[in-house]
Chains A and B, each alone.
Chain A
């Protein structure tokens, strides 16, 4: 069965960086985009970007460009999201999610989600 397992909670100081991992299993990792979505406490869902695990190509939301780096290690079926220059507004649960269609078929919804990783930014 498809599973996405994320790394554990992080506490960071303002100005620091955080790197969250998302280990995929139960399907062909290279065949499906991985999306990253975050949710601040009590707030809605915010799409951050996506990575094509096959090519490594990325699309980032304009808001995060210059601060976010999405990467992958295909040998261990793991995607990563690194966010730099953290501030208190970055306190949120960060989710990875798999696209529901193969990359070759185009853009798609997200069908499987990780459990979420809480990143807290505080001095």
Chain B
């Protein structure tokens, strides 16, 4: 199974400041035949189901604000919130869908400083 790790476990950022979350996979999730990284990011607010933010490591889902961006390739990925808003307080998960089981990272909690 591919093991996903995230850092930090939690972070507190001032409103309008940048938040950066890292995700690492135990093996590459890059598929060379189609040049895609099989990595997604989800946001989960308390009491809500997860909400897809980013897929293919860097493609923003329709309707997601452009302050959210994803980068990285192979085994190392980053989710960046360029200017934190109050509604961004949530837990963020990465997930690989390269091979089953489609494992998630343990999550990173983002709060307002």
CB 8 Å contact bits of A103-115 with B (1 = contact, 0 = none): 0000111110111
Task: Indicate the size class of the contact surface on chain A.
Answer: 20 to 34
* Cβ contact of B55, chosen from A59, A100, A113, A114, cutoff 8 A: A100
Task: Indicate the size class of the contact surface on chain B.
Answer: 20 to 34
Known: A47-B101, A100-B52. 11 other contacts (CB 8 A): A44-B106, A46-B104, A47-B95, A49-B101, A50-B100, A50-B102, A61-B100, A95-B50, A100-B55, A107-B38, A110-B52
Enumerate chain B interface residues (CB-CB to A < 8 A): 1, 38, 40, 42, 44, 49-52, 55, 61, 93, 95, 97-107
Enumerate chain A interface residues (CB-CB to B < 8 A): 35, 37, 44-47, 49-50, 59, 61-62, 95, 97, 100, 107-111, 113-116
In the complex, 27 of the A-B residue pairs with CB atoms within 8 angstroms, ordered by the A residue number, are A35-B102, A45-B42, A45-B44, A45-B93, A45-B104, A46-B104, A47-B95, A49-B100, A50-B100, A50-B102, A59-B100, A97-B49, A100-B52, A100-B55, A107-B38, A107-B98, A107-B99, A108-B55, A108-B97, A109-B95, A109-B97, A110-B50, A110-B52, A111-B55, A113-B50, A113-B51, A115-B49
